[in-house]
Amino acid sequence: MRALQVHGFDGTHQWRLEEVPDPVEGPQDVVVQVEATAISYVDLLLARGGYQVKPALPLVPGTEFSGTVIACGAAVREGIRVGKRVTGTSFGGAWAQRLRVDAGAVEPLADSDAPGPASALAVTYATARYALVLRGSLRAGETVLVLGATGGVGLAAMQVARALGARVVAGASGPIKTAAALERGAELAVDTAQADWRDELKRLVPDGVDVVFDPVGGALLEPAFRSVRWNGRYLVVGFADGAIPSLRANLPLLKGAALIGVDVRQFREREPEAARVNLTETVRLFSAGLVKSWVAKTFPAAEWPAAMEAAADRATIGRIVIDWTDLR
């Protein structure tokens, strides 16, 4: 089989689409014939050696995918079988025609679920649901501020929040992105590229927001935290800005608010059964049409350099997907 393999962290000139050994399933594993893989911010960090966990070289990156089960171990859980279409996650390995993965990390898809949008469910959308439901306890009627609202996980958070009955305020940089956020599920939007964006948020939501979903970090953290109302919850999802900010400890005290970490990788490792249920519920929302998975563009695997460039472009709205079905 062929896979996109990283041989060094100095640039994409050290990445090669090449032949690698076929995976072999263990007792609790499945082998999936990959149809599509969504490229996330974490994938790019892993491939560049910039993630908090640096894997050994060479490596095949890729953390979320959709495809068809082609082999099952003897102890695979009920409901997973050869021929079943699934979405799933793996800490690396998904940028390939086939991969081996624990059967607990995949979830069956409906026959009507398209492979491209479905490929972003097991990390991007599962992260959004884990954050908002299990960490943030978001309830119907509450207001949530989603920062980085037109990125992959930001779009997912807006969709999940709407499905929960919450009011969504999008935080996005620039008029193009704020307009895109309003078209994709936000009720209100603020341009976080403007110096007075917190004043605008206060005008729109005078009493403050109940929950902040923050995959951006950087300079947005403190003004966003100051916008949380009493008993609010601030969800730290990531640092797409590149800068890890600090927050004065008196602010949570004065707000009676909680600063809550969201690490879906550790969630899967430490609470595998709860993570499996979270993925099941995420796929249910998608298959029922309650959330939409936004794909910006799909590239054939042979055009992976263009796919990586598009995925790294901050102007991209939604996920970039690699299609593995036409690779010869």
Helix (H) or strand (E) holding 150: none
Give me the tens of pLDDT residue by residue for the chain, a chain 328 residues long: 999 999 999 999 999 999 999 999 999 999 999 999 999 988 999 999 988 888 899 999 999 999 999 999 998 988 899 999 999 999 999 999 999 999 999 999 998 999 999 999 999 999 999 999 999 999 999 999 999 999 999 999 999 999 999 999 999 999 999 999 999 999 999 999 999 999 999 999 999 999 999 999 999 999 999 999 999 999 999 988 878 899 999 999 999 999 999 999 999 999 999 999 999 999 999 999 999 999 999 999 999 999 999 999 989 999 999 999 988 6
Record the tokens describing residue 124, joined without a space: 């991007």
Cβ–Cβ < 8 Å for 19, 327? no
User: Crossing angle of helices 304-312/41-48, nearest 10°?
Assistant: 110
What the chain holds in terms of domains, given with CATH numbers, is 2-120+293-323 (3.90.180.10), 127-265 (3.40.50.720)
Record the tokens describing residue 162, joined without a space: 């709407």
For residue 214, CA distances in Å to 9, 40, 65, 242 come to 27, 16, 24, 13
